[in-house]
Amino acid sequence: MRILGIDPGSRVMGYGVITIDGTAETYDAGGSIRLDTNASHQKRLQTIYREVEALLDEHLPDACAVEMPVYGRNPQSMLKLGRAQAAAMLPPLNRAIPVTEYTPKAVKKSVTGNGNASKQQVAYMVCAMLSLQTDTLGLDATDAIAVALCHAHRHTADAPQRHTDWASFLRANPDRQG
């Protein structure tokens, strides 16, 4: 399964693409798209939409995971961030690619074990998990990769476990023994 993770923003949008094969997680691509801050908000939304379309064309993901804005001090900034999120979600939705939203806390907890981890801690763990150099990606990219990893961890956790024999079932379910 190939997952496109997106960390939306109205100034910078991070993206990351990973492939999951069983329990193996592989980094495919990641980066950030810097939006022209001199352009109108509408033009930036259009750029987000087009850039996500290009990522879909290039990487052909099976799923898309997007970090959702949950709070902010400035209502106007939150509105802009929500619009950026919508612009990032529409291209995969238009192609019938499932989109799942995750809160920042859920993403951080999935990758670091701590829902209050810093961006630097998230970046460190993402790079450690995928054997990447910590200085090759920016924080927006590592945040987006973390979103994709969060989706992968949730997806595999929700998948039914298949057991080849009774002993493996009992090892996986010690509370079910006699």
Catalytic center residues: 7, 67, 140
* Residue that is written with structure tokens 């064309």 in the block: 57
Helix (H) or strand (E) holding 163: none
List all residues 6 or more positions away from 8 whose beta carbon is below 8 Å from its beta carbon: 48, 66, 67, 69, 81, 84, 85, 87, 88
Tokens of 166: 């009774």
Element (H, E) at 20: strand 12-21
Contact 29, 59 (CB under 8 A): yes
Q: What is the DSSP letter of 135?
A: T
C-alpha 90/C-alpha 22 separation (Å) is 29
Phi, psi of 61 (to 5 degrees): -70, 155
d(Cα 170, Cα 153) in Å, to the nearest integer? 23
Measuring CA to CA, which residue among 3, 2, 5, 1 is closest to residue 102?
A: 5
